[in-house]
Amino acid sequence: MIMNEAVIGDPNSILKLGPAAMKSPAEWRQMDSDILAHFLQVHGQLSNSKWYHSKTSYTMQGENILGSSFPTFESFVFAAVYLRQLISSANKDNLFDDAVNRYVNVADCQIRNIWMVEEKKRFAWILDNKPLYPTVGNIKVRELFNLFLYGSGLMHKIPDPNTTLRKKYLKICDTQPRQKVLFALNSSLKLLIGHVNNVAIVMHHDYSHWLNKYSLPCPEIRWHDRLFEFKY
């Protein structure tokens, strides 16, 4: 889709327009700064992670799987902590939607806002549909991610064996080839990061401009890559 040379999916086409103005800088609050800054750091952690840069592939000959390469368990767990914030349907998380909505509410640029909303729609489409390849039963991407996080007991206490969540997770483990499941999971999540990347590039560009031009409240978050650093 092209809007006066701004191309959906291409953040550079937006950056060429120059920084956006703000509609109502006086209405911007500390929480707005904190949410955008936190979204940008979550994006940074994911885009620089070993999980994101690990190869995701498998080869087949007929019906036989000959080889595969996937992110390690440790790298997936690291990424899952951040992915959960972006993907969660709970109101307290759902960071991707929250950051985009705050941006769109104040960006004084119709082209940018259409572009951002379209990125959000494409992100949601991937989540709410089956993996593009391969399909894993009738399970959609969001459900597959949740099964690995919660059905396996990775994020919370392991659920009761009689719950639908646990039954579906065990069924996948027992009936689907592990390589196909891991490929569907990891490749779908990496597709999501592509949309996060696009949004983060434009958002960082404009947010940096707004902080300086409009003297917005600086973010008061604690940067995760410095949490365990200290000086003597």
For residue 49, what are the β-bridge partners?
none
For residue 64, what are the β-bridge partners?
61
Q: Can you tell me the distance from the alpha carbon of 67 to that of 58, in angstroms, rounded to the nearest whole number?
A: 6
Look-up of token digits 């840069």 = 53
Q: Among 229, 230, 225, which Cα is nearest to 40's? A: 225
Write the pLDDT tens digit of every residue in 34-70: 999 999 999 999 999 999 999 999 887 777 778 889 9
Q: Can you tell me the distance from the alpha carbon of 94 to that of 89, in angstroms, rounded to the nearest whole number?
A: 6
Query: Residue 85: its pLDDT value, please?
Result: 94
* 121 contacts: CB under 8 Å, gap ≥ 6: none
Query: Residue 81: its pLDDT value, please?
Result: 95
Average pLDDT for the chain: 92
Query: Residue 133: its pLDDT value, please?
Result: 87
Write the pLDDT tens digit of every residue in 106-118: 999 999 999 999 9
Q: Report the pLDDT averaged over residues 188-214.
A: 97
H or E element, residue 59: strand 57-61
Q: Report the pLDDT averaged over residues 162-190.
A: 93
| Cα distance from N-terminal residue to C-terminal residue, the chain | 54
Q: Can you tell me the distance from the alpha carbon of 129 to that of 150, in angstroms, rounded to the nearest whole number?
A: 19
Helices vs. strands in the chain: H and E counts, helices first = 9, 4
| Domain boundaries along the sequence of the chain | 31-60+67-216
Between strands 6-7 and 57-61, the pairing is unpaired
Q: Can you tell me the distance from the alpha carbon of 140 to that of 167, in angstroms, rounded to the nearest whole number?
A: 16
